[in-house]
Structure formats: structure tokens, C-alpha cells
């Protein structure tokens, strides 16, 4: 059991605490850093869970990425993919839905694809969520000239 960021060994308790929170092994210092990062950026907790799950597969996402107009929860710039985590499962009001649509349009204009994932899916089926994101990345790679 070692921290995924700094490789320092973890006690069982630290391991448990970090796994319960982010489903990734983080030492107390890195756990605290991530909690601070969450508090400073308006992103859901599941962003960090997904971030580390993708990292484990060799994908390098950026968290709380500023695209010039807004903060994107996760972005994979190599294939111009934005991932937004849906915080609520309540149906959207038409005003909110329109805002989302405008954001998606803005992203498309910059050549970015946006996918939205409900936070509950990340909690309940992280493995298959990541599998599908990998599939999307593979598909985008074919369509986009990767620099
Ligand atoms: Zn660490």
C-alpha cells in the first residue's frame, strides 16, 4: 500500500480512509491536498475518483480545467474530450438545460467533445465507466489528428 502520488507507504487506516473517500491510495498529505483542491474549485468529489481511475489506465486527465469560459471537471486535451460530472439526478429546468446546451456548443466550436456522467455511476460502476471512456478516447483518436 503506497501513495499513488508520492509512493510513500500507507498504514492500513490511511489506506482505508483514502479508499473510502476517493477510491485511490493517497497518503494523508496528498489526501489533504485533494480535499483542499476540491474546496477551492467548484468540482464534485467524484471528479477525483474518476481522475485517479483514468490515471491508473495511463490516461492523463486535467482536473478543473479552465477552457477560457468555464471550468471543466475533467479534460483530456490530447483527444479534446471534456468530462462533466452530473451532480444531480433531478430533471433539469429548461433554463439550466439551455445553459448546458450552450456550454456544449461552445466546446464543440473549440473542437471539444463533451460527455456528461452522473456521479452515481462513478460511485456504483467505476470500472465500466472507465472502460467506456477509454472506448470514447480510442474513437476520438481515430477522428482527431493526435499531435
Ligand atoms: Zn503522497
How far, in Å, from the CA of 133 to the mean position of ligand 1? 26
**Residue 57 near residue 134, CB atoms below 8 Å:** yes
How far, in Å, from the CA of 44 to the mean position of ligand 1? 21
CATH 3.10.20.740 fits 44-143, yes or no: no
| pLDDT (0 to 100) of residue 146 | 53
Q: Tell me the pLDDT of the chain averaged across its residues.
A: 93
Whether the per-residue pLDDT at 145 is higher than 80: the answer is no
CA distances from 112 to 38, 79, 144 (A): 24, 8, 10
How far, in Å, from the CA of 22 to the mean position of ligand 1? 13
How far, in Å, from the CA of 32 to the mean position of ligand 1? 10
Domain chopping of the chain, boundaries: 1-40, 44-143
Amino acid at each position: 500500500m503506497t501513495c499513488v502520488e508520492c509512493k510513500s507507504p500507507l498504514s492500513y487506516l490511511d489506506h482505508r480512509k483514502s479508499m473510502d473517500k476517493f477510491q485511490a491510495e493517497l497518503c494523508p498529505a496528498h489526501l489533504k491536498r485533494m480535499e483542499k483542491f476540491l474546496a477551492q474549485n467548484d468540482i464534485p468529489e467524484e471528479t477525483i475518483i474518476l481522475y485517479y481511475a483514468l490515471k491508473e489506465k495511463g490516461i492523463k486527465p486535467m482536473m478543473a480545467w479552465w477552457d477560457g469560459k468555464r471550468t471543466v471537471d475533467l479534460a483530456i486535451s490530447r483527444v479534446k474530450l471534456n468530462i462533466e460530472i452530473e451532480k444531480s439526478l433531478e430533471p433539469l429546468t429548461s433554463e439550466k438545460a439551455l445553459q448546458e446546451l450552450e456550454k456544449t456548443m461552445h466546446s464543440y466550436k473549440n473542437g471539444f467533445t463533451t460527455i456528461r456522467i452522473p456521479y452515481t455511476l462513478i460511485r456504483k460502476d467505476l470500472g465500466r465507466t472507465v472502460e467506456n471512456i477509454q472506448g470514447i478516447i480510442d474513437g476520438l483518436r481515430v477522428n482527431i489528428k493526435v499531435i
